[in-house]
């Protein structure tokens, strides 16, 4: 698809990988809407990109439908949706003191990552399906964010692994569901990236965390996620897959 003149909705776009993707999209002539938590820097980011900010909570499922409808109404249409919202919790299935992983925490992580992602995608797809297709029959592209933890989850990541694994697992099925509408669905699975969640890690700690990478042995940069996301949008053959962006890293058990 062509970026110039297209409209994109960036969930989690106030910072990190989603912000970098929104920036590249806007620089290439795309129209952007930034969705993020109310206390985020979304307003200033949106202003810098010539777009508009829409405060939201991805776990407010009904609220997300209203916020997304408002954003898409202002944009006039929706061709690109990138979602990086998510998070994890560190708990073993059975903790060292013998207590179990809190079921409420497990459910919250599934809700935040997997259920919210599906909800966002189904809303976005419903709007994209009303677009006039381009000459290749395309109406839109959706990108979700998993993690390499979906495939090599570390000790204490059982909830996060289940959630991110679910995102990866639903990608092909969703792409098949939406193929008749000309909508593509892809997932990016990054390794550790230098975002707000990892900003406090000292250089020595970052080196230790990425020592198992093939190359480069460092945390990823948000721009490197953005390069992949933009390539997915532009290439009609990118569909139904989860792409690792990880420098060849494979997480060890801990």
Q: Which residues are catalytic?
A: 160
d(CA 207, CA 45): 30
Measured distance CA(20)–CA(29) in Å, rounded: 15
Residue 45: how many CB atoms within 10 A of its CB?
A: 22
The conformation of residue 195, written as its DSSP 8-state character, comes to S
Pairing of strands 31-36, 52-55: parallel
From residue 70, give the alpha-carbon distance in Å to each of 190, 198, 226.
30, 32, 25
C-beta atoms surrounding 208 within 10 Å: 11
Asked if residues 104 and 91 have their Cβ atoms less than 8 Å apart, the reply is: no
Do 189 and 168 contact (CB within 8 A), yes or no?
yes
């Amino acid at each position: 698809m062509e970026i110039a003149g297209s409209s994109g909705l960036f969930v989690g776009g106030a910072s990190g990988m989603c912000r970098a993707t929104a920036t590249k999209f806007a620089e290439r002539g795309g129209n952007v809407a930034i969705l993020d938590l109310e206390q985020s820097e979304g307003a200033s980011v949106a202003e810098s990109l010539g777009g508009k900010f829409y405060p939201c909570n991805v776990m407010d499922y009904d609220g997300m439908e209203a916020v997304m409808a408002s954003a898409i109404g202002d944009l006039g249409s929706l061709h690109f949706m990138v979602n990086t919202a998510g998070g994890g919790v560190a708990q073993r299935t059975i903790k060292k003191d013998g207590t179990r992983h809190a079921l409420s925490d497990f459910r919250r992580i599934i809700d935040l990552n997997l259920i919210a992602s599906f909800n966002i995608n189904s809303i976005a797809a419903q709007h994209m399906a009303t677009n006039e297709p381009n000459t290749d029959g395309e109406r839109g592209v959706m990108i979700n964010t998993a993690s390499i933890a979906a495939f090599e989850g570390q000790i204490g990541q059982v909830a996060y692994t289940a959630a991110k694994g679910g995102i990866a697992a639903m990608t092909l099925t969703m792409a098949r569901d939406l193929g008749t509408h000309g909508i593509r669905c892809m997932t990016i699975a990054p390794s550790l990236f230098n975002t707000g969640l990892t900003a406090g890690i000292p250089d020595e700690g970052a080196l230790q965390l990425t020592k198992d990478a093939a190359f480069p042995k460092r945390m990823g940069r948000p721009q490197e996620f953005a390069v992949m996301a933009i390539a997915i949008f532009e290439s009609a053959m990118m569909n139904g897959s989860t792409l690792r962006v990880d420098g060849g890293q494979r997480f060890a058990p801990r």
